[in-house]
Amino acid sequence: MRKEVLHYLNVHMEGVIVDGTLGDGGHTEFILKNTAPDIRVFAIDRDSSAIERASERLSLFRDRVTLVHGNLGDLKSLAAQNGITRVVGVFMDLGVSSPQLDTPGRGFSIQNDGPLDMRMDFSQKTSAADLLKKLSDIELASVIKNFGEERYSKRVVRAIRREQAERPITTTGQLSRVVARVLTSSRHSRIHPATRTFQALRIAVNDELEQLKNALADMLGLLHSTARVAVISFHSLEDRIVKTFFRDEEKGCSCPPKLPMCVCGRKQTLRILTRKPLLPSKEEVDQNSRSISAKLRVAERVYV
Residues at the contact surface with ligand SAM, assessed by CB under 6 A: 21, 23-27, 44-47, 50, 71-73, 93, 95-97, 120, 211
The nearest distance, CB 25 to ligand SAM, in angstroms, is 6
Instruction: Give the residue with the Cβ less far from ligand SAM, 17 or 44.
Output: 44
Indicate the pairing of strand 15-19 with strand 87-93. Answer: parallel
Instruction: Give the residue with the Cβ less far from ligand SAM, 94 or 116.
Output: 94
Instruction: Give the residue with the Cβ less far from ligand SAM, 103 or 170.
Output: 103
Instruction: Give the residue with the Cβ less far from ligand SAM, 69 or 154.
Output: 69
Distance CA 44, CA 24 (A): 11
Select the residue whose beta carbon is closest to ligand SAM and give its number.
23
11, 19, 280 from 35: Cα distances, Å: 8, 14, 22
Contact 73, 210 (CB under 8 A): yes
Q: Which of 28, 36, 153 is nearest to 97 (CA)?
A: 28
Instruction: Give the residue with the Cβ less far from ligand SAM, 15 or 70.
Output: 70
53, 97, 191 from 114: Cα distances, Å: 22, 17, 19
The end-to-end CA distance of the chain, in Å, is 31
The nearest distance, CB 57 to ligand SAM, in angstroms, is 9
The nearest distance, CB 281 to ligand SAM, in angstroms, is 17
The nearest distance, CB 253 to ligand SAM, in angstroms, is 30
The nearest distance, CB 214 to ligand SAM, in angstroms, is 9
Q: Which of 239, 233, 232, 268 is nearest to 251 (CA)?
A: 268
Dihedral over alpha carbons 192, 148, 141, 242 (to 10 degrees): 180
